[in-house]
Every structure is written in structure tokens, then in C-alpha cells.
Structure 1
Amino acid sequence: MAAPFRIILRSSCKWTPKYSSIQPHAPILRIPKRFLCTTHTRKEARAFPSIFIAIGLIGTAAYYVLAPTSHKTLNSDSFIPYTITSRQPISPTSAIFTISPHHHDPSLPYLLPSSQEWKYPLWSVEFKQPEVQIARHYTPLPPTDGENTKDGTLSFYIRAIGGGEMSTYLNRLGVGRDVYLRGPHKGFDVLKRLGEQKNVVFLAGGTGVVPGMQVARAVLERDATTSVELLWAVRKREELQQCRQGGSTKPWWNFWSTAAPAELTAEVEEPSAMGKQLARMKARYGQRLTIRVAVDEERTRFTERDIGEALASGGRALPSPGCQLHDQCLHMHASEFEDADTKCQCSPADKPGKNLLMVSGPDGFIAHYAGDKKWIGGTLTQGTVGGVAGVLQRKNPVLANDWLVLKL
């Protein structure tokens, strides 16, 4: 869903905010009256109820934390062990992890039946940090051409964030170590929201590019007339290209010769592991996929003008009031994790659909380009459209009808 920046935990019926204990709530203990202290109770007896409660709570918590699970393969209820089979460093703080399940699953829950194709256009899994009992969502990288998806192997682009408990923990692990996963968790159904429209603009910060790669693959594979513009903002050039030993902080390749965000080609020089994956996607989809990169340390960024030019390519869409999939107002209180009963209320004769502007990255990045997300009743919701997207909509109200804004 976060991309890797999404800190949303799944409880028994809701998504709970920030880091949280992953064990279920312990049942409430009711103490019979005969155990309650009175003014006539001996001092030794007064301590008994407190001891009794403490032992009961500790025992109950231990049961939920340590009780074995009956599941051996990936599921959305319990955490399952996977082994890290490779770790490709990208920068001092980021790497691509590839993991494999301990037990083979003949019917993986994220694949279409009897197929190697992913079931969902956008999805994630939870990783558990067993040392402090927290969990966080990470988005798998889409498989490369010819990759065998039925073996259950998954890859993740993970960057250690200062103060990030989960990402720091994962970056300490080496090949052969185990991690624990739960999922899959379905994100926005971007294909149904796109409908008859043809254009997706995905603005990604850091590892938020991975959901963008998922979306691009799903959209471009479905319809040969669609197009995706992926705008990726990174802190350092080394996330995309390998740095030469002892190299300067200034760009030395023609690829980075302009002050504006540069367009990635399939022939990018000395690509990092992430650069190779993006270059392969560019080679596969050609002009239908545009990838532009801004590098923070080189003072290039995506401006209001850049976003406006990207949105200018969208086709006209009909208004969709009251539709759960296409009405922006109804998304204000929606989670990025799709409800099973979310359906289109538009008439098929209207050829429903919206062009999509999607934003994924750190909270501040999302807020700047699309406005803050909001916590409502323990669920992180979309909130109103603000930031750069809101400014563009006020300047050109047509954009608010033609483009649906989604925050990940």
C-alpha cells in the first residue's frame, strides 16, 4: 500500500495507526468479590488480587505471542517465516532483498488461479519485527520477464530511514536470516478506477517508486493504448546509477546534464539494481512508459509546472457523483486498502473511468504534492486533495473532474 512509507497495521477488523503490538487484545479479567480487599483484610491478603491479575495478564499475553500457528504458507491472519536468499546493496542505506518461503504453496494467494500472473494490480505484505513486536507494510517489486512467480519468491526495495525501527532492523539482516510475513493486502483497484481512461501519472518519493512499478506494469499489460508517466524523486543519484569510487558530488554523465529532472532511457549507464529494473520496464513498454528522475542532492525537483504538464495529457472524463470508485469526495474517508464491497455505481453506457494521479512516499512528500492523509477512527484515510495537486485544480477546475487523486 506504504510503499514502504506506509505505517499501517492490520488488527482484527481495522487498520491501526503507527507502530503497534501485533498480538491480539487479551481478554478482560473479572475478579470475584471474594478476592476484593476490605478494611478488615490482612495486609498479606491485600497483595493477592494484584498478583493474581499480573499472573493472569502475563500468561494470557504469552499465550497469544508464543502460541503456534496452524498456517505454514502466506496468509492474511498470521506471520509466516521466509528466508533471505539474496541482498543486493544499492546505497549505504538501501538494498533489494529477495526472500523465499520455507514451505511451497501450490496456490499462492496473490496469483491468479493456474497462472503466474499477479491477482492484484497493487498489493503489499506486512513484515514483523520480532524484537519489539511491530509490523509494517512493504510492497513487492513486480517480477521480471520470465521470472518464475510460482516458487513464492518475492523481492523488496528497502531503505533504512533514520529512526525507522523496522527498516533499520531489516537492513541489519544478511543472507540466510529469516523474516516473517503476513498478507497479501490488496491496495486500490487502479484498473477499475482507470476504467475507459488511458493515463496514469505516478509521483514517487524514494522507495515509494515500487508501488508505481506495480501500477505501471498492471496498467500497461492490460491495454496497449494506455500510458504511464512515472516521476521518481530520490535523495542521491546512487539509488539509480552506481557511483564511481572517489567520484565527485556533481553529475558526470550526460543523463544528468540538465538542471531539470531527467528522462530515463533503456540505455542508462552503470545502473544500480533498481536502475536495471526500471530500464527493463522502459525497454519493454517503450514510449508508453515515461520515467523521469529528480535528484535532491543535485537540486532538481518536480515543480508545479512539471506536474501540470504531465496532467495535460489526460482525456476528458464524465462526472461520477456517488461512485465509490470514481468520486473524489467519497475517497476522503477511504483507506488505501480496498474493501471487498467497493463497487462502481456508474452506468456502463457512460464508459466510466478517471485518469489517475497517484502519489507515494514519505508523509511530507505526499502532503506537499497531494495534501495530508487523515486518521479517522483508527484508519488512515485519503483526506482532501491539497498541495500542488490542489493548486492545479483551483487554477484549472477541469482537472478535478478528469483526474482522480490517490495517496499511498
Structure 2
Amino acid sequence: MAIADSTTLSTTQDTPPLPVWELVCIVAGLMALNALAIDIMLPALSDMQAYFQLSNENAQQRVVVVYVVGLGLSQLFYGPLTDRFGRKPVLGWALLVYIIAALACLIAPSFELLLLARFIQGASAGATRVVATTIIRDFYSGRRMAEIMSVVMLIFAAAPILAPSIGLGVLSLFGNWHSVFLALAIYAFIVAVWSMVRLPETLKPENRTALRPDTIFKSYKSVFTNRISIGYMLASAFIFANLFSYIAASEQIYSDVFGIGASFPFWFAGVAGCMAISNLTNSKLVRSVGMRRLSHTALLVMLIANILHALLSISGHETFVSFYILMVISFLAMGFVGANFNATAMEPLGRIAGTGSALYGFTTTFGSGVIGGWIASFYDGTTGPLFVGNALALGAAFSIICLTERGRLFSSSQSV
């Protein structure tokens, strides 16, 4: 591929130039911290429910939801911090807190304290999301950024594909859910060392912004008043609510609805793998086809697939085959949305990339997590509520994009 070569990136700092392939791997590794923190414990949720004697079966979903809430909220603070102090210092401290929080989850004596530690873990992980996107934007923009992000997402996609199987393997090896958090702490330590040693500081001294309320307000105002940026951010929140609702309820769906809980990691990996395939395809097509044309088409496909899914479920005609085929279609389409919507939203925000990345991360994690968690909370032993909610969320996303683009969908230009 185009980026997998010896091209190097020079920075204004004294650190050695960084090969592009290594930059991509580090950024993907940072982003994978979040996917692993969510997906690796899906096989362990039922064990946690039994361990803490939770009477409400849906309460186990909170282990995922509180992490996502912490992840989303914290990014609003990390944006200004990275624009003031640089990318690496903020990342280093956040990764240290992440490791400590993972160990706190391991020894939590009650479900409430586990949820508190998970919230802190998510809040610390917000820095990885902000820094990862910001560093890519520091070097690239437009279709080139979308191409790079697609490759990042391709590598990152290995996390949700492998995480449930890793979680199941850890459970089988050590026999308890506590060991899952030890695995997270070890992985975070490895990524932290690699990042601190090899990652260059990409914020030039002349681009640092003052950490004052008026400066922060001005930066966020610039994002909020940019029609393209805020429109694509809000639409992304509704789109990725589909992902979070599926993740939160997936273990219950495969086990309770279809009775195939034992092979859950395999089926979950298959759906996640579809996103990897479409991200790879997107990286090859985006320069010639354009971000908007690819992502708008994919959004429409997702909307139609989820409407069909809702109708099949409500009418009582859903089978595992129809469920899985429509999930595959939805996640294939989602892979053409993420990197392209991200790059489109960040395109006008070069000088405030940290703040822009923070707000994008907030909307696509906190916003998506709240909406997706709310949708998943209606799980009633069938998939009907899930896909009715997903179809409505995608309808909202499509409407927002129509308003943002003033009805001119599927367009293409030299840069987008």
C-alpha cells in the first residue's frame, strides 16, 4: 500500500524521524486501547453479573456504558490540553492513569466501585482517542487523511475481531474475570512505552494556544460555528450509536435470542472483520472516488439495512441467517463512514486540531455511547427494540447530513 514504505515524517523537535508505517501502528495501538477495554470483557459480563449478584440482567451493560461515558466526556478537556502542552505529555500521564484504573477494576470489592474505576479508565483513555486523531491531522488533511485513517482503522479493527476471543482465552486460562483487567493493564503498559519512546511531538511551538477560558471558548466556538465540522460530528454520533448498542447487547443476543453463546466470539469477530475489509477498500478508493460519495452511499445502505432488520424482527420472521447477513451489510457500510466522516469534519480545523479532535471524539463516544446505551437498555429478549432504535438513529444521521450539505449529497471534488 502507499503508506507502507520508507517515507518518513520530520518534526520540529529533536526526536528521530518516524516511519509512516510505525506512526500508523502506534496510532492504531492507541485507539485499540478503547476497543480492547470494551470488547475483551464481553465474554466476562455474565461472570461479573454472577459475581456481584446483580438482579437485573441488563445491569451488566453498565460496565461498557460507564467506560464509554468517561471516554467521551474527558475528551472535551484533553483537546485544549493537547493544544497547549503538546500531544506527548498529555498522552503519557493519561496512559499512567489508565493502567492504575485497570488494576483498580481488578481488585474492586463491589459493583459500584468497579463502575467508578471503569469510568476513570474511560476518562483516561480519552487522551488516546484525541491524540491519535490529532497527530494524523497534524500531518495530513483531506483525502490523504481519510486514506491514512482507513489504514489505521484497518489495523485497529483487529482489536474488536480478536478481543472477545482473547477475553475468552484469558477467562479459560485464569478462571475469573479479574484477569481480563490485568491483560488490559499489560497491553496499556506496552503501548505507553512504545509511544513515549518513538512518537514525535507534532505540535509546533508557534501553534500552541493559551489555556485560558476565553481561548478555549473561542476554539470550541470555531468548531461549533463550522457547518461542515459540526454537522458531520453530530451525524457520526447517531451512526456510531449503532455500534455501541450492538456491542452492549451482543452477548445477550447471541446467547439468549439465538442460543449460540459458546461460539459468540467467532460470530462477533466475523461482523467486526467486515469493518476491516471495508476500511481497507476505502483506503484504496477514497482518493479517486471521494470521501463524500463513499460515505453518503454507505450511510444510505446502513439505513436501508436497519429498516429491513427492524421489520423482520417485529414481524417475527427473523432468523439467525437474516440477522447475520444484515449485520454484515451494516458493518461493511460502516467501514466506509468512519474515516471519511472523521476526515471531512477535521478538514477545516487544522490550527485547532486538538480541540476539533476532542469534540469529534466526544460526540462519537459520549454521544454515541449514551444513545447506543439507551437503545440497548430496551433489550427485551428480542432484537426488535435494538434495530428500531438503530434505524431511527440512522434516519436522524441521514437528515443531519442532508441539512449540512444543503441537499447536495454524493458529491465529489478534488479534496473531498
Q: By percentage of residues, which structure has more helix?
A: 2
Length-normalised TM-score, structure 2? 0.23
Q: By percentage of residues, which structure has more strand?
A: 1
Higher relative contact order, structure no. (Cα contacts within 8 Å, ≥ 6 residues apart) = 2
State the structure with more CA Rg. 1
Length-normalised TM-score, structure 1? 0.23
